[in-house]
């Protein structure tokens, strides 16, 4: 307890740099205060404008409408919150929005379409809020979007009389310009783990909780042992919230942010530990935590290369689960990835799958390519962890790299592993041009590394 009182005196300031900023480039300041059961956000706008837009304005997944309009109430007279095109905006009927706008809100703890959940709500009252949803900038009416897609925003979080957790450390208040993290209102006891800090909802059903206190720390420890330090140089925080046993629902969602993994579990479909449930949960946890390495220690240089990080995270997860549970059948997963890849790669380049709304190709074909790299590694008595570790060491910032792995760098690593440049050549063709018969192209690459088609 003494320790806790000692650190309670700390305040955190992550200073936003002000150097060289023009008056128009001054930072938006937001103060977010938990006040009883409610929350208040006070926006101090750095300049006058007729409308201010929230740059992260994805819609709620279930209702396909604005989550801010559902959960925010503007208290400042004359100011309205409304939807304009793809953005939520503060507006006024005439003139400029007042320079100070106050909003009361209820944390919106539901999924969005392609963005982080605004809030994670834990059953003990702990709430985590996503910082990026407070970022706003002047509205550019002539092109129907904010002037600046990434306006400077500095947010101070306060929980009067209590504490906040920011990046795993308790504070009385936290001021940050990091728009890609969650701040936790409350200081729940973390799950013990080597080199990470986990916050698990106390109401999480027993078997899920067991997985989070057993499987998750073992996963992180094994990845750390085989791949080195995770990205960001810090200690990852993992937030696992339970949204309740909603009837007819089976939902595990979340996302990885720098040094932080947010997981939201919901539904009566998750109440019992069927083998299927267990496999799906472990894949999810394994894949997402693999992104602390493949994704954060090194990233891709553009979304077209997501096959590097998604496929790699898949194979790392399969191999991880196998080590922890010898009954796990990675062959079933690899077979599914392989057959999905055949369907998604015929006559079209895998790299541009995203523009066709076929993101699944990055996961499926990425796993297959990872399996080919693994085959090459195995011929030298190595495995996919070794291949990935070399890729990380060659590119991570701490080792003098640029923190990025491009397609050509990955293919060069494959050629170093296999000694056969024709494999990388054929893979490049599937990635950038497309082939008429992906099945025989993949079978031939697998054969060159001494492996058969999965299944
Ligand atoms: Zn992923």
pLDDT tens-digit readout, 170-202 = 899 999 999 999 999 987 877 767 778 888 898
Could you tell me which CATH number the domain at 2-185 has? 2.60.40
Distance 120 CA to ligand 1 centre (A): 20
Distance 277 CA to ligand 1 centre (A): 19
CA-atom Rg of the chain in angstroms: 24
Distance 309 CA to ligand 1 centre (A): 7
Distance 21 CA to ligand 1 centre (A): 36
Distance 312 CA to ligand 1 centre (A): 9
Residue matched to tokens 């006559």:
347
Tens of pLDDT, residue by residue over 416-440, are 999 999 999 999 999 999 999 999 9
Q: Which residue has the higher pLDDT, 318 or 197?
A: 318
Q: What percent of the chain has pLDDT over 70?
A: 94
Average pLDDT, the chain: 90
- 3-state SS, the chain, equals CHHHHHHHCCEEECCCCCCCCCHHHCCEEEEEEEECCEEEEEEECCCCCCEEEECCCCCECCCCCCHHHHHEEECCCCCEEEEECCEEEEECCCCCCCCEEEEEECCCCCCECCCCCCEEECCCCCEEEEHHHHCEEEEEHHHCEECCCCCCEEEEEECCCCCEEECCEEECEEEECCCCCEEEECCCCCECCCCCEEEECCCCCHHHHHHHHHHHHHHHHHHHHHHCCCCCCCCCEEEEEECCCCCCCCEEEEEEECCEEEEEEECHHHCCCCHHHHHHHHHHHHHHHHCCCECCCEEECCHHHHHHHHHHHHHHHHHHHHHHCCCCCHHHHHHHHHHHHHHHCECCCHHHHHHHCCCHHHHHHHHHHHHHHHHHHHHCCCCHHHHHHHHHHHHCHHHCCCCEECHHHHHHHHHHHHCCHHHHHHHHHHHHCCECCHHHHHHHHHHHCCCCCCC
Distance 83 CA to ligand 1 centre (A): 31
Residue 25 has pLDDT above 60, yes or no: no
Residue 222: left if φ>0, alpha if ψ -120 to 50, beta else—which one?
Answer: alpha
Residue 334 confidence class, pLDDT cut points 50, 70, 90? very high
Tens of pLDDT, residue by residue over 154-163, are 999 999 999 9
Residues that place a CB less than 5 A from ion ligand 1: 310, 313
Residue 13 has pLDDT above 70, yes or no: no
Distance 231 CA to ligand 1 centre (A): 15
Distance 310 CA to ligand 1 centre (A): 5
pLDDT at 3: 32
Distance 368 CA to ligand 1 centre (A): 15
Distance 106 CA to ligand 1 centre (A): 30
Q: What are the sequence ranges of the domains in the chain?
A: 2-185, 197-290, 299-448
Distance 289 CA to ligand 1 centre (A): 9
Residue 10 has pLDDT above 70, yes or no: no
CA 155, 42, 171, 202 dihedral sign is negative
Residue range 353-366: average pLDDT? 95
Distance 367 CA to ligand 1 centre (A): 11
Distance 332 CA to ligand 1 centre (A): 19
pLDDT at 21: 38
pLDDT at 4: 31
pLDDT at 293: 95
Nearest to 180 by CA among 278, 260, 275, 295: 260
Residue range 204-232: average pLDDT? 90
Distance 98 CA to ligand 1 centre (A): 42
Helix axes 360-379, 407-418, angle to 10 degrees: 30
Distance 383 CA to ligand 1 centre (A): 21
pLDDT at 192: 65
Residue 19 confidence class, pLDDT cut points 50, 70, 90? very low
**34 half-sphere exposure, CB direction, 13 A CA radius:** 23
Distance 281 CA to ligand 1 centre (A): 14
Distance 70 CA to ligand 1 centre (A): 29
Residue 23 has pLDDT above 80, yes or no: no
Nearest to 438 by CA among 361, 370, 383: 361
Distance 87 CA to ligand 1 centre (A): 26
Distance 260 CA to ligand 1 centre (A): 14
Distance 138 CA to ligand 1 centre (A): 33
* pTM for this model (two decimals): 0.83
Helix axes 360-379, 330-344, angle to 10 degrees: 120
Is 2.40.110.10 the CATH classification of the domain at 299-448?
no
Distance 405 CA to ligand 1 centre (A): 16
pLDDT at 111: 87
Distance 287 CA to ligand 1 centre (A): 6
Distance 386 CA to ligand 1 centre (A): 20
Distance 288 CA to ligand 1 centre (A): 6
User: What angle is formed at CA 166 by the lines to CA 165 and CA 171, rounded to 5 degrees?
Assistant: 60
Distance 296 CA to ligand 1 centre (A): 11
């Amino acid at each position: 307890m003494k320790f806790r009182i000692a650190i309670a005196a700390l305040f955190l300031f992550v200073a936003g740099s002000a150097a060289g900023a023009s008056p128009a480039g001054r930072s938006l300041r937001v103060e977010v205060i938990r006040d009883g059961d409610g929350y208040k956000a006070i926006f101090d706008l750095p300049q006058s404008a007729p409308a201010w837009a929230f740059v992260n304005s994805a819609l709620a997944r279930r209702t396909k409408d604005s989550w801010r309009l559902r959960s925010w109430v503007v208290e400042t007279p004359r100011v309205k919150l409304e939807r304009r095109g793809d953005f939520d905006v503060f507006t006024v009927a005439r003139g400029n929005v007042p320079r100070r706008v106050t909003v009361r809100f209820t944390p919106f703890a539901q999924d969005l379409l392609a963005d982080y959940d605004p809030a994670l709500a834990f059953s003990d009252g702990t709430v985590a809020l996503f910082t990026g949803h407070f970022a706003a900038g002047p509205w550019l009416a002539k092109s129907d979007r904010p002037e600046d897609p990434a306006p400077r925003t500095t947010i101070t979080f306060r929980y009067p009389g209590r504490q906040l957790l920011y990046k795993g450390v308790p504070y009385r208040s936290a001021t940050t310009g990091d728009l890609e993290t969650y701040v936790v209102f409350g200081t729940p006891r973390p799950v013990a783990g080597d080199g990470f800090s986990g916050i698990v909802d106390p109401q999480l059903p027993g078997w899920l909780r067991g997985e989070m206190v057993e499987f998750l720390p073992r996963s992180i420890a094994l990845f750390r042992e085989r791949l080195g330090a995770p990205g960001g140089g810090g200690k990852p925080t993992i937030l696992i919230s339970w949204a309740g046993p909603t009837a007819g629902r089976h939902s595990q969602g979340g996302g990885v942010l720098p040094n932080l993994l947010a997981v939201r579990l919901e539904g009566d479909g998750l109440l019992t530990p069927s083998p299927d449930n267990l496999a799906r949960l472990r894949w999810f946890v394994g894949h997402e935590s693999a992104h602390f390495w493949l994704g954060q220690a090194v990233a891709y240089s553009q979304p077209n290369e997501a096959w590097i990080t998604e496929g790699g995270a898949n194979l790392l997860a399969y191999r991880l689960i196998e080590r922890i549970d010898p009954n796990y059948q990675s062959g079933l997963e690899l077979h599914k990835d392989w057959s999905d890849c055949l369907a998604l790669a015929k006559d079209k380049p895998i790299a541009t799958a995203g523009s066709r709304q076929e993101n699944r190709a990055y996961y499926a074909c990425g796993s297959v390519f990872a399996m080919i790299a693994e085959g090459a590694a195995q011929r030298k008595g190595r495995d996919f962890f070794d291949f990935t570790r070399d890729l990380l060491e060659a590119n991570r910032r701490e080792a003098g790299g640029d923190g990025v792995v491009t397609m050509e760098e990955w293919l060069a690593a494959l050629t170093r592993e296999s000694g056969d440049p024709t494999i990388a050549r054929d893979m490049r063709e599937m990635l950038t041009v497309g082939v008429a018969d992906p099945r025989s192209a993949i079978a031939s690459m697998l054969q060159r590394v001494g492996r058969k088609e999965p299944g």
